[in-house]
Every structure is written in structure tokens, then in C-alpha cells.
Amino acid sequence: MATILTNAKQLTADQTLEEVMVKIEDGIITEIASQIEITAEDHVEDLEGQLVTAGFVDVHVHLREPGAEKKETIETGTKAAARGGFTTVAAMPNLRPAPDCPETLQSIMARNKESGVVRVLQYAAITKQQLGREIVDMENMKEAFAFTDDGLGIQSAGMMLETMQRAAKLGIPVVAHCEDDSLVPGGVMHEGTASKRLGLPGINSVSESVHIARDILLAEAAGCHYHICHVSTKESVRVIRDAKRAGIRVTAEVTPHHLLLIDEDIITDDGNFKMNPPLRSEADRQALIEGLLDGTIDMIATDHAPHTAEEKNVSMLDASFGIVGSETAFSLLYTQFVETNIFTLNQLIDWLTIKPSQAFGLPYGRFEIGAAADLAVLDLEAEGEVDPAQFQSKGTNTPFIGWRYKGEPTMTIFGGEIVYRKEAVK
């Protein structure tokens, strides 16, 4: 029995929507055509004129299990991803226990496969317990998607160089949260006029850019694929642009919240605006947009970071860093950038599908015959507002509550099976 998607539309290279039917057999797209024969045994899904694309690929999420299940579980985190149109996510290693040895990595990967409703790729830690003191047994953790201590910058240049040299031999990327601790004495938001107005300690821009500059030169020396998490400053964009021009193998991501918000949007001392790196200035935000458009920044990743209400509904001085993002990413980006003609729909979908897949050598993010039937169905006319009561995530920590949007995922198919349908999750 095949599944046939009827009355669908695909996005063409010239930005038009073309009516198609899609045939799925054994989890694979076997036909895309204007007409496909339907037999009595086939299962038919009428998409009612909605857009079908490759499922989104997010290389930066926090699933919190094991160790912090009160914030999120693999099940709730992947259901949130599915609701957002994501069919592949890469989970960060800030877990307890952290995946810092082969046994724990294998255990977490098995758990991901058992509980996830979409594909979960698992990062391994760079250092044991992410303490920055001792590099893990990288050679026996080749199953890891990549190595990172995300949330914590590797402070020792010598340790980072050794990590990159060993990763290069394994052919596995090193992924970095870039932050020089000596330049961040207890900051909770961007250092600027807003932090002064609110009387809160700031995080300066150079704490990120100087770390990126250091690591790029180390990556060049090691011959390693180096990927930079959540770029936030104009200086960082400039450094990455220069590195790419020099032929250094570096890729980078930007989050929806850094594209949509700035520090001046923080009107009161609200923990739901606290993230690391922090919301920066308008000049930084414009540099991030320019970096995406000229290819300096390769992709969009959510940095979905759920926390409990008790951890976020407090002063920024006491709140945990991070916000959720899986379920709001497409709708907000489409509304704020595609509807306003800053990005094309093709560009937005590329940054959410093919670009992350290409950067990490993944066989996903493709809407074509022979590809895995990982699909997102998007209603571009649907209107709504961000309402955490609708979230599949346990986390409701977002500064976008009440934001109006146009366009939303209404169905997500993973491996040929429907794992999200608007109003219901498998």
C-alpha cells in the first residue's frame, strides 16, 4: 500500500506554487507528478492546496532527557519539533549524565530512537561532564553527530586545537558555543543602552567574536570542519565572512530570536528575554540578516531551550538562559521576513532544510524522488498567534507570546508516517 498526497503544491525555483501529487512507499518518496494513479489499496491524504516541502532540519535543540525531564523529555521535545515542521533535530549534550563516554552516548542514542517521534541526531560532549578539563574518548564515539560543549565555550586554546585535530582525523565536525569567560563577568543581557536602563549587568559583543576568531584560526591549523552556534554580533559575522573568503572550512547558524528581536525590545526585567548569546543591537540584527543573504551564515537553527516556569518567571538576574523555538520558528520567520519581501520563501525553506543538511553531509532536507519521505505541509494562509497553551513542548518560555503570524505547519510526515497533524500529535 502506498500513501498518496493529493491536491498538494510544491515550490518551484521561480517562486511559484505548482500543483502536484506525491507517492510514498516504504518511507521513500517514489513519485512526484501532476497526476499519479491511485489504487483501491492506497491511503490518500488530501492536502487541500497546501505547500509540501522537505521536513525541516534543526541542528541545535535541547531535549533535556536524561537529567532534566521536568523541563522537557525526548518525547515532548520531538513532538514540539514535529509541530514546527522539523523531521530531523540534533540534540545538545548538556544532559545528566552527559554523553561523554561511549556507553552513555549509546544509551542516549537508543533512548532517542525509542522515544522520539522524529529523527534525533545526538551530539557528544567535548570534555568530560562538560567541565572543560579533560577531552572525552573521541575515537570511540564515532557515532556522535558532532562534538560540542554547547552552552560552555572551550576556554583553553590548546584543548580546542587538540579537539579539532582529533575530530579532523575522525571526519566529525566540532561545534562551538563561543564565549570567552574572562570577558563575561556575570552578564545577563547584551551590554548596551538597554542594560544600562534596566540596571542589569551586560555581556559584551567581543566575548563572542574574539572566541570565534581564535577558533577559526585553530580550525585552519587543524583542518577541521568548525561550526559556530547561534551567531549574534556584527563582528562575528565579519570574522566568519573573512574566514570563508580565506577558504577555511567554517559554517555557522543563526537563531530566529536573534533575527527577530533586539535588546531594546526588553522593556522590563523579564526572564523570558534571557538567552545566551543575548539579544543584541539593531546593527547586529541587520548584520545577521545580511550574513544570511550573502551566504556567510549557512542556516537557521532554533536553539530550542525549554525551562520550567519557575526558572524563567523571575528577574533576569536569576533566570536560566534560553527560550523555546521549535514551534514558532517557521510561522514567525515567514510572517516577518517572507511576507515583508526581505527573504524569499525559497531562501527560508533552504535555510531550514537543504543548507543544514549540506553543511553536515546529511541525506535529509530534500523533496525529491528517492529521498526519505520526511515532509512538512505548510498552510501559508493560516493566521494565528503564539499561544504557549498550544505547545507540545513542556517549555512555555518564549518572548513571542501573543505575536500574530500568517503561515503555519499543519502536517509533518516522518519516514512516510504522519507524526503531526494540526490539533493532534501522534
Alpha-carbon separation of residue 297 from 90, 173, 304 (angstroms)? 18, 16, 19
- The sign of the CA dihedral 11, 13, 16, 18 is negative
Q: Beta 299-300 vs 250-254: how paired, if at all?
A: parallel
Strands (E), 289-374: 299-300
Is residue 202 within 8 A of residue 190, CB to CB? The reply is: yes
303 is catalytic: yes
**Residue at 11: amino acid letter:** L
Helix/strand number for the chain, H first, E second? 12, 18
C-alpha atoms less than 13 angstroms from C-alpha of 183 in its C-beta half-sphere: 16
Is residue 54 within 8 A of residue 376, CB to CB? The reply is: yes
| Rounded Cα–Cα distance for residues 140 and 418 (Å) | 35
388: Cβ contacts below 8 Å, ≥ 6 apart: 396, 398, 401
Bond from prior residue into 277 cis (ω within 30 degrees of 0): yes
Name the catalytic one among 58, 303, 350, 379. 303
Is residue 319 within 8 A of residue 271, CB to CB? The reply is: yes
Positions marked catalytic: 303
